[in-house]
Structure 1
């Protein structure tokens, strides 16, 4: 079995013109693991298999037909995450790993989140979050800010699987942990980062007007843009506010915030700041999101952007995937189901785990199936993969 899995990995990697080092980097696993798998001397565990498959742009079952699925493994991990944050404000456990190792492991986990590697997160994040909380409880003085940042980053990584897999109550509790941790720090950029994530609560509940108000209040006390990180954090908060304002039906406010984000992005390299990608490309992606959220006569702008531009490798995989899901919806609304399906196929190439759990992707595939009287094999296969049929 390991040999056959390795052969499939190698064949797909070569088809995508990736080196073994390229695959290791994209999958966030060691080069030795990739080499061992391809030679058939190592058998990847479920989380590693998912990571490799995601980097290759396919579902893990294509590499191992016996694979049981990311969703089952993530849902099995959710109770452990919940238990970790029960009484999070109470000091209980000793610090489980040295600070340097904790810092490195959380940085790795943030990379998994940005690459939509939900299986890897599910396997590691309960213990990682517990260690971050223990470190914050054990820290005082000038090191408290870093300890708070580590808890926010770990809780946000856990929130990625909770929110994406529909555990919205757990997601809201994790955001409470982030707000509590940020309260230990006097850093406005950390509070702004938490406000950015908190918008998920309003998006999940479709409480757009209240979410818009909460984000406006966060911007009122946001960081002064005098460093690259504070500028990017403020810009990201404007981007998120633009989308929520658009969902609330306030086109003027949405465009005002989008323009503010665009101004802050000028001269700033596209990069990940405090766990959020920001820069000119991210602003353009959010312009598409705003246009789709506003709907109606605004859809044309999303289509115009997609004709002229698409995100490159400077953008994390999950956000690239999100761009194509938004454009798919715009193309479907404009009467182009074939174009919408092509976008969803591209989204799957970028981050399969993200697409499979995205409600818009499932909803739009269902609509495309209904519109196509005789769906082709690829559409039927996609619908089965995403769980529509």
Structure 2
């Protein structure tokens, strides 16, 4: 159940989305203006009858005010049982057909492209059958062929995890990440194992255990050989970029900047592209710099980051999800600086690039709710955006 401040935040956003002043909401619900103010500030928590009356006046439900918006994509949610079934007997696969390795490579490449370009609906429908096929193939493979199949399985599991994590199935996500670790151990490739450690930080985000996430990344870096190859250099850079963002979220500015310095030394040595499913290179480094500035919320750093954004934008050759992340963080920075119109433009740019990603992004909903409250629901374009994103 939501805390009083979070519930109050949703009530205020719902009122703005309905285009009602406090006086109008008071008249429609029968709740006094002073009580409504206390509810929105989180000072008071409503009783169930009061919440029901308020929800009806605001054109929503008490459940959505308490728990947030419900599922946004039934197409994706319908596939979750099939993904769960596909991994249930991963080490005891059923007998069945297995395509040649070239076909499996092409299928996994397609899944990866769908993941990094936020095409979750297509991905979710294709991944269960491919996982089952890869489990069957791995079960009978030996030698180099087995290691190659294990690598493909890691990437397919990562695609499944993207759906599970972004759509709120955190327990399933943790299970998929664990299976990624199992498959990576068979592949016997330290760079691939590092990629799994990168993804594993999602588990720590979901559990609000950021310090544990930093320790896990440190352990993964210690296990890596010296970055003497392109793949190892990219893997090490990715771990530092991830650690910088986590340190920033922990408000540890010194550690965040140290990781960015180390990441820069490595990321500028490799061409921008996907390495074991993770985008790494100079452009990805720029995007992580902005993310760290936003997490630290330092006004000077934010002004510098927003000013730098006028001179650069992510190239279209980058995956859609990463480009979308950039504009989400740019919008967050602009909200912090009070540049509301620019923030809305940035969030709209993110939506145009990767709509499924934006619609499921919790930080997008938070910033939209903030913009909605500040505009008092008077911006029709913003209200339409908030309705599409299911802000409340």
Q: Same fold (TM over 0.5)?
A: yes
Secondary structure (helix, strand or coil) at the match of 1:313 reads coil
The CA distance in 2 between the partners of 1:146 and 1:244, in whole Å, is 32
Question: Between Structure 1 and Structure 2, how many residues are aligned?
Answer: 321
Q: Is the 8 A contact 2:245 2:295 kept in 1?
A: yes
Q: Residues of 1 paired with 2:202 and 2:312: CA distance?
A: 27
2-structure distance, mates of 1:382, 1:92: 46
* Counterpart in the other structure of 1:14: none
* Counterpart for residue 78 of structure 2: 76
SS of equivalent residue, structure 2 residue 342 = helix
- Whole-angstrom distance in 2 between the partners of 1:293 and 1:93: 49
Aligned counterpart, 1:35: none
Partner of residue 357, structure 2 = 354
Pairing of 1:39-188 with structure 2 (within 5 A): 71-188=73-190
Moved more, 162-171 or 268-277: 268-277
Counterpart in the other structure of 2:382: 379
Deviation at 1:155, TM superposition (A): 0.1
Kept in 2: contact 1:70–1:119 (CA 8 A): no
Equivalent residue number for residue 214 of structure 2: 212
* Counterpart contact for 1:288–1:301, Cα < 8 Å: no
Q: Distance in 2 between matches of 1:177 and 1:339?
A: 42
Q: CA RMSD in A?
A: 1.6
Q: Which residue of 1 is the match for residue 38 of structure 2?
A: none
In the alignment, is the contact (CA less than 8 A) between 2:82 and 2:128 conserved in 1?
A: yes
Tell me, in whole angstroms, the C-alpha distance in 2 between the residues paired with 1:287 and 1:267. Answer: 17
Q: Matched residues in 2 for 1:111 and 1:362: separation?
A: 25
CA distance in 1 between counterparts of 2:117 and 2:258 reads 30
Structure 1 range deviating more: 306-315 or 168-177: 306-315
Can you list the C-alpha shifts for 1:59-80, whole angstroms capped at 9, x where unaligned?
Answer: xxxxxxxxxx971011110111
Note the alpha carbon deviations across 1:207-236, whole angstroms, 9 max, x for none. Answer: 111111111111101243222222112211
Kept in 1, the 8 Å contact 2:248–2:295? The answer is yes
1:311 equivalenced with 2:308 (yes/no): no
CA distance in 1, matches of 2:222, 2:112: 28
1:282 aligns with 2:269: no
Q: Is residue 370 from structure 1 mapped to residue 381 from structure 2 by the alignment?
A: no
Q: 1:142 to 1:374 in 2, by over 3 A?
A: closer
* Partner SS, residue 73 of structure 2: helix
Deviation at 1:175, TM superposition (A): 0.2
Q: 1:223 to 1:351 in 2, by over 3 A?
A: farther
Question: Paired residue for 1:328?
Answer: 331
* CA–CA separation in structure 2 for the residues paired with 1:341 and 1:312: 21
2:44 corresponds to: none
CA shift for structure 1 position 265: 1.9
| 241-250 or 88-97: bigger deviation | 88-97
Deviation at 1:347, TM superposition (A): 0.4
2:79 partner SS: helix
Distance 1:281 1:223 in 2: 25
Residues 255/124 of structure 1: CA separation in 2 closer, same or farther (3 Å cut): same
The answer to whether the 8 Å contact 1:129/1:155 transfers is yes
How far apart are the structure 1 equivalents of 2:340 and 2:239?
A: 33
Of 248, 264, 276 in structure 1, the residue corresponding to residue 250 of structure 2 is: 248
Matched with 1:299 is: 302
Relative contact order (alpha carbons < 8 A, sep ≥ 6): 1 or 2 greater? 2
After superposing the two structures, state which structure 1 stretch, 89-98 or 173-182, moved more.
89-98
Deviation, 1:331, is 0.7
Answer with 1 or 2: which has the greater Rg.
2
Measure how far apart 1:97 and its partner are: 2.1
Q: Structure 2: 5+ residue runs without aligned partners?
A: 1-70
Separation of aligned partners in 2, 1:223 and 1:131: 32
Supply the distance in 1 between the matched residues of 2:269 and 2:215 (Cα, whole angstroms).
Answer: 29
> What CA deviation, in whole Å up to 9, does each residue of 1:321-340 have, x standing for no partner?
01111111111111121111
In 1, distance between residues paired with 2:92 and 2:317?
40
Q: Is the 8 A contact 1:115 1:317 kept in 2?
A: yes
